[in-house]
Structure 1
Amino acid sequence: MRAIVLDTAGATPAWSERNDLVPPELEETEVVVEVEAAALNRADLEEIAGTYATAQRRSDRPHVAGSDLAGVVVAVGSAVSGIEPGDRVMAMVDGAFADFVAFDHRVALPVPDTLDWAEAAALPSALMTEYDALIDQGRLAPGQRVLITAATSGVGLLAVDIAQWAGAEQVFATTTSPQKELLLTARGAQAINTRVDDLAATVIAATGGAGVDLVIDHVGGPLLDECIAASRIGGTVVQVGRAGGPVSVIDVDRLAYRRVRLLGTTFRTRGTADRARIAEGIRTRLMPAVADRRIRPHVHLVLPAAQARQALDELADAGSAGKIVLDFGNRRHGDRETDA
């Protein structure tokens, strides 16, 4: 079995491909999936650097990298219901970069026939993260205004789609690239280039002085204070990512005066039960919109799994929009035919 394993025996984790592994043993609540494609996330760069850890990783299994996969179920545990061998699934897991991956069946999401493998692999972390941030924690309601930072990332673009699916009246979306502004406007968002525009002033002016009801911040750093300033009185800021750095300086007077609800969130410390609850919400509420492509992934690049190092370099470059996906080439079960 092929896998991309992190060797943590040394001071610095080593990136390597392994051919001497065996498929994982199946537990009663787990499914084993043969991976067709796996998407990269910025957390993968941190994991390789040795600075990322989750509450989920099992010490009795090899430290395989990766968190987003799509593939075909090849085995199910005795306590599994609702999933059968041959089903197409996608999931956010630990250890996605392998030919075979075992994980709790409750976090699996069905892959609609309208998605190919690369598109499916690009979805799980983005769906889980943004559904939780926008709906569960942000409590987004129809008619509200939303601001999404770093909106041309894979998760950011999904956030734009989910906000519109939920009935947002206006969706403001930030980028630092004039070229990427077109991608955001094509998704129905009002693009704001934070390299040339004052974020808070632009949002306040566009909302008639009110500000937005909800901010989903994927940047952190200095931009967090601007997000608070762009919020309405009684608004909510959900701090999801730290692409701009882990330290922010905020005006606490403004936070208090505007009565902004500031929430921090991560999946690093979430157990299986919490992840399963979020996955169930996605299955019951979001999947019809995924199937008819109202909520759709944006795949920037697909590379063979053997070119994982090149894919990681591309991800670190920060010039891409959307997701970078590894193709594992396990095509025995077929794929959706496309004209692309």
Structure 2
Amino acid sequence: MRVIEVAGDALKVAERPLPVPNAGQVLLKVAAVGVNRPDLMQRHGLYPPPAGASDILGLEIAGTVQALGDGVVDLQVGDSVCALVTGGGYADYCLASACLCLPIPEGLSLVQAAALPETFFTVWSNLFDRAKLVAGETLLVHGGTSGIGTAAIQLAKAFGAKVFVTAGSDDKCAFCLQLGADAAINYHQYDFVEEISLLTENKGVDVILDMIGGDYFPRNLKCLAVEGRLLQIAVQNGVKAEINLLPLLLKRVTLTGSTLRSRSDAVKADIARSLRREVWPLLASGQIKPIIHATFPLEQAAAAHELMASSQHIGKIVLQV
């Protein structure tokens, strides 16, 4: 099968043997694979795969079941599914845990479905499992036009929250508003701390979903309401920050961080069940949808990475196999 391998700092097409599913796994013929920033990090040696995971990039795929490992009873050869994987997606075929495979939501293509797993697993796990976001609360999402951001806006609105976002241009802010955000802040033109204070009448927001880190951390604390929850899911501006701990105490802030890839299949399977029950009907009805900016052929993975690194995209970037 064809795969995309990391060669130094470059990506190249190579050939490898077809993988064989172990117990509890399925072999998928990949139709499309979502591109995510962790792929870029792994390519540059900053995000090594967990022990036992494939060294091939790609954390979310959609395709058809080609072979079943022992003990798989809920899937059949020929089924179309999307799946969260720990690696291996940039290839013609990929192994996936059967418990992390989800049906293609009605009305969605395989390309659209490939944009779902990593993004929606991450957003659901953080906003609803960890932060316990509920109707009537306020949410601030940094990077509103990222794949995570566009999913977070739609899910939070679907479950009754008020959503504020930051984005890097007026066009991106306008897109967020069209998607349902209640307010969008161009961080190149405005101080989001001041804007959040105005929008909330100095109360602050209940939940912040942040993938920026670095110097955003102390500013996020200023934006939080009493009993606010800060979710750190990435650190694009760096892993270190200097903060005043007093607001953490006075506001009774809950600070949590998480990554998805290294968590057990059992934990991720719980998220999958929640998504199938709570979110898949919203996708099937068209109430929410994956936002796809561009698709590239698998062999043009490097060009897809260049686009992602430029941050000029809105929504997801997908490779078609």
If the length of structure 2 is used for normalisation, what is the TM-score? 0.95
Out of 77, 92, 95, the residue aligned to residue 84 of structure 2 is 92
Farther off after superposition, 204-213 or 151-160: 204-213
DSSP 3-state at the match of 2:280: helix
Stretches of structure 1 lacking an aligned partner (at least 5 in a row): 329-340
What is the CA distance between 1:209 and its match in structure 2?
2.1
Matched, 1:17 2:9: no
Partner residue in 1 for 2:163: 171
Structure 2: distance between partners of 1:119 and 1:194 = 29
Contact kept, 8 Å, 1:71 with 1:117, in 2: the verdict is yes
Paired letter, 1:4: I
Identity percentage of aligned residues: 32
Change (3 A) 1:279 1:192: same
Aligned partner of 2:224 among 231, 240, 244: 231
Structure 1 residues 309, 277: closer, same or farther in 2, change over 3 A? same
Instruction: State the distance in 2 between where 1:255 and 1:83 align.
Output: 47
Question: What is aligned with 2:62?
Answer: 70
Instruction: Check the 8 A contact 1:54/1:267 in 2, yes or no.
Output: no
Aligned residue pairs, count: 319
Tell me the CA shift for residue 56 of structure 1. 5.7
1:157 aligns with 2:150: yes
Matching residue of 1:338: none
Aligned partners of 2:9 and 2:307: how far apart in 1? 20
Matches within 5 A, 1:190-269: 190-269=183-262
- 2:102 is aligned, of 106, 109, 125, to 109
- Using the size of structure 1 for normalisation, the TM-score is 0.90
**Partner-residue secondary structure (3-state), 2:273:** helix
Q: Which residue identity is paired with 2:291?
A: H
Aligned to 2:75: 83
Are 2:21 and 1:26 equivalent residues in the alignment?
Answer: yes
Check whether the contact 1:56–1:272 (CA below 8 A) recurs between aligned residues. no
Identify the range of structure 1 (193-202 vs 93-102) with the bigger mean alpha-carbon deviation. 193-202
Aligned to 1:333: none
Distance 1:65 1:313 in 2: 15
Shift in Å, 1:309 = 1.3
Structure 1 56/295 Cα, relative in aligned 2: closer, same or farther at 3 Å? farther
Deviations 1:207-246 (A, max 9, x none): 2221111111111111122221111111111111112222
Task: Map 1:112-127; keep pairs closer than 5 Å.
Answer: 112-127=105-120
Q: Which amino acid aligns with 2:76?
A: E
Q: Hey, what does 1:310 align to over in structure 2?
A: 303
Per the alignment, residue 301 of structure 1 pairs with: 294
Once the two structures are superposed, what CA deviation does each residue of 1:107-154 show, in whole Å capped at 9, x if it has no partner? 112112311122111111110100001000010111111111111101
User: C-alpha distance in 2, partners of 1:13/1:303?
Assistant: 20
Q: Does 1:286 align with 2:283?
A: no
Q: Which residue of 2 aligns with 1:331?
A: none
**1:239-287, Cα deviation, whole Å (9 max, x unpaired):** 1111222222222111211111111111243122221221121112211
Secondary structure, aligned partner of 1:36: strand
Q: Could you tell me how far apart the structure 1 residues matched to 2:219 and 2:102 are?
A: 35
1:15 Cα offset (Å) = 2.6
TM-fit CA distance, 1:55: 2.9
Q: Does the 8 Å contact 1:55/1:270 carry over to 2?
A: no
In structure 2, the CA distance between the partners of 1:125 and 1:322, relative to structure 1 (3 Å rule), is: same
Contact 2:230/2:256 (CA < 8 Å) preserved in 1?
yes
SS of equivalent residue, structure 1 residue 101 = strand
**Aligned partner letter, 2:25:** E
Instruction: Give runs of aligned pairs for residues 311-326 of structure 1, distance below 5 A.
Output: 311-326=304-319
Amino acid across the alignment from 1:123: L
Q: Is contact 2:42-2:49 (8 Å) kept?
A: no
